[in-house]
Amino acid sequence: MKKGFDNDKYLKIQSEHIKERISHFGNKLYLEFGGKLFDDFHASRVLPGFEPDSKLKMLLQLADMAEIIIVISALDIEKNKVRGDLGITYDKDVLRLRQEFMDRGLFVGSVVITHYCGQEGAKAFAKRLKKLGIKSYFHYLIEGYPNNVALIDSDKGYGKNDYVETSRPLVVVTAPGPGSGKMAVCLSQLYNENVRGVKAGYAKFETFPIWNLPLKHPVNLAYEAATADLNDVNMIDPWHLEAYGVTTVNYNRDIEIYPVLDAIFKGIFGENPYKSPTDMGVNMAGNCIFDDEACCYASRQEIIRRYYTALCNLADGKCEESEVNKLSLLMQQAKITPADRLVTVAANKRAEKSGLPAAAIELNDGTIITSETSDLLGTCAALVLNAIKHLAGIDHSVKLIPAAMIAPIQNMKVNYLQGNNPRLHTDEVLVALSMLSPNDENCKKALEQLPALKGCQVHTSVMLSEVDRKIFKKLGVDLTSDPVKKC
């Protein structure tokens, strides 16, 4: 993928901008951190050149002045809410995040449990944190939140919440996922700091939508695609337009909540330091794009990938048809179709010709390689073998794994493990290659090409088994599939 984003510039100007914002508020800033602090693969896909841990690296430049508060909702604890990408509950992810931050040299001050009203799960989690030596605080449900501003800005509202003790100028407020109450924690702290004579400030760090790109720019459309399940919508910020006569982009929830935030700020300080939701943000990513067309192309590809993911989720009963319809509409707005994904065309063309499940991979140099299901190998296993043989300069006719080795594996799968599919999956092929590699130079050369598959594009004409999906994910491949289940 051609690069279009200057990551070094981003690290430099983003940290400087946050320092500048801290100085505006008497050296105390609560920074609500949206999205992922690390492993931000969506950003790296739509802004080629953006490194997945860029935000974390940026924060490390501020490590001496920053501390982190991790927020979790008591409601999420009670219902054992799970992170879809990791498969772990939010309470476990709080501990994972804390350890990840500390291992990287960041100071984690405490955990705040929000939406608390006596839930037993929240109590048990607080006790567990205490045993681990981790400070925790409770923030309570406020009747009529967020519209009952008079109650919110009072001793019976924010004043009822535990005051979170912090010691550094920059307090980063993050969470395992959306809906945890990060903004409410920031605003509660502003109220309680003000009571103590500290004029702390608030800012929001969201990478997307990018405020200084056009509303229908593919990068911003890709953000809508990523949040299609939440039905987020990018909008022109009317408050910013009225205040400054400048068109900027924000998303619906921030624009809708702004009048409430305005009232809360005025209730705490007597005035609002921000004239618009855009004013509250500190994101500088839009200033670091140096090749707009490269980012547009990458974003269009991301929208198509999201569309195929939704189609497969719908086939599995994991999403609503409205999500697919929204993504279809976004594709129209971006003026793209599935045919703009080259591997989709190649895989389907081979499937139509052979009548068998087929797959295609686009390598990083633009080469497209295809495969189909055979008696010995599943289409994904064949695709990986074809790709790494090509990359290693091994002739396609060379059989890396002898049939005599495949047959016993198939016998085990069918006769001993009661399987219905004798063909080798991707993981089984890679294990076989590994076993052969000490004595076979071709197998060794082929295996050494696996890292070169990172960032490659793959499409399959049928939905894959969990095993094959996981292998592609571990290889760093961007995978899509037609919503067709194998017979």
* Same domain for 367 and 249: no
* Same domain for 418 and 280: no
* Same domain for 141 and 22: yes
Q: Is the separation of the CB atoms in 172 and 67 below 8 Å? A: yes
Q: Is the separation of the CB atoms in 194 and 269 below 8 Å? A: yes
Quote the strand ranges of 387-481, DSSP E. 457-460, 478-481
* Same domain for 349 and 281: no
pLDDT value at residue 85: 67
Is 301 domain-assigned? no
Is 148 domain-assigned? yes
Closest CA to 395 of 406, 386, 404: 386
Q: In this structure, is the dihedral angle defined by the CA atoms of residues 259, 262, 266 and 271, taken in order, positive or negative?
A: negative
* Same domain for 52 and 188: yes
Who contacts 167 (Cβ-Cβ below 8 Å, separation ≥6)? 67, 109
CB atoms within 10 A of CB 444: 15
pLDDT value at residue 40: 85
Residue type, 172: V
Cα 134 from Cα 127, distance rounded (Å): 10
* Same domain for 391 and 263: no
Is 229 domain-assigned? no
Q: Per-residue b/e over 346-369, b at no fewer than 16 CB within 10 Å? A: bbbebbeeeeebbbbbbbeeeeeb
CATH code, 252: 3.10.630.10
Strands 368-372, 358-362: parallel, antiparallel or unpaired by DSSP? Answer: antiparallel
* Same domain for 403 and 276: no
Could you give the angle at the alpha carbon of 96 between the alpha carbons of 95 and 100, nearest 5°?
Answer: 120
* Same domain for 199 and 105: yes
Render each residue's pLDDT in the chain as its tens digit; 487 residues: 799 999 999 999 999 999 999 998 888 999 999 877 877 889 999 999 999 999 999 999 999 999 999 999 999 999 998 886 677 899 999 999 999 999 999 999 999 999 999 999 999 999 999 999 999 999 999 998 888 899 999 999 999 999 999 999 999 999 998 889 999 999 999 999 999 999 899 999 999 999 999 999 999 999 999 989 888 899 999 999 999 999 999 999 899 989 988 998 898 888 999 999 999 999 999 999 999 999 999 999 999 999 999 999 999 998 999 999 999 999 999 999 999 999 999 999 999 999 999 999 999 999 999 999 999 999 999 999 999 999 999 999 999 999 889 989 889 988 988 888 889 999 999 999 999 999 999 999 999 999 999 999 999 999 999 889 999 999 999 999 999 987 4
The structure's pTM equals: 0.91
For helices 321-333 and 218-226, what crossing angle results, to 10°? 180
Q: Facing residues of 110 across strands?
A: 69
Phi, psi angles (nearest 5°) of residue 413: -60, -40
* Same domain for 251 and 134: yes
Is 175 domain-assigned? yes
Is 317 domain-assigned? no
CATH code, 390: 3.40.140.40
Total residues found in the chain within this entry: 487
Is 164 domain-assigned? yes
CA distances from 320 to 326, 346, 410 (A): 10, 29, 38
Could you give the angle at the alpha carbon of 216 between the alpha carbons of 212 and 220, nearest 5°?
Answer: 60
pLDDT value at residue 417: 87
| Structural domain count, the chain | 2
Is 396 domain-assigned? yes
How many alpha carbons fall within 13 Å on the CB side of residue 285?
A: 24
For helices 252-269 and 182-195, what crossing angle results, to 10°? 10
Closest CA to 66 of 26, 117, 116, 101: 101
pLDDT value at residue 445: 97
Q: Is the separation of the CB atoms in 48 and 290 below 8 Å? A: no
Strands 457-460, 358-362: parallel, antiparallel or unpaired by DSSP? Answer: antiparallel
pLDDT value at residue 420: 84
Helix boundaries (H) for 24-148:
41-46, 54-60, 74-78, 90-103, 120-131
CB atoms within 10 A of CB 87: 8
Strands 201-205, 249-251: parallel, antiparallel or unpaired by DSSP? Answer: unpaired
How many alpha carbons fall within 13 Å on the CB side of residue 335?
A: 5
Contacts 24+ apart (CB under 8 A), 260-264: 260/146, 260/147, 260/149, 261/187, 263/149, 264/146, 264/149, 264/152, 264/153, 264/187
Cα 40 from Cα 63, distance rounded (Å): 20
* Same domain for 64 and 172: yes
* Same domain for 66 and 192: yes
Burial class (CB within 10 angstroms; exposed 0-12, middle 13-18, buried 19+) of 83? middle
Is 2 domain-assigned? no
By residue range, what is the domain housing residue 261? 7-211+244-288
Closest CA to 232 of 30, 4, 35, 31: 35
* Same domain for 350 and 281: no
Could you give the angle at the alpha carbon of 91 between the alpha carbons of 86 and 92, nearest 5°?
Answer: 50
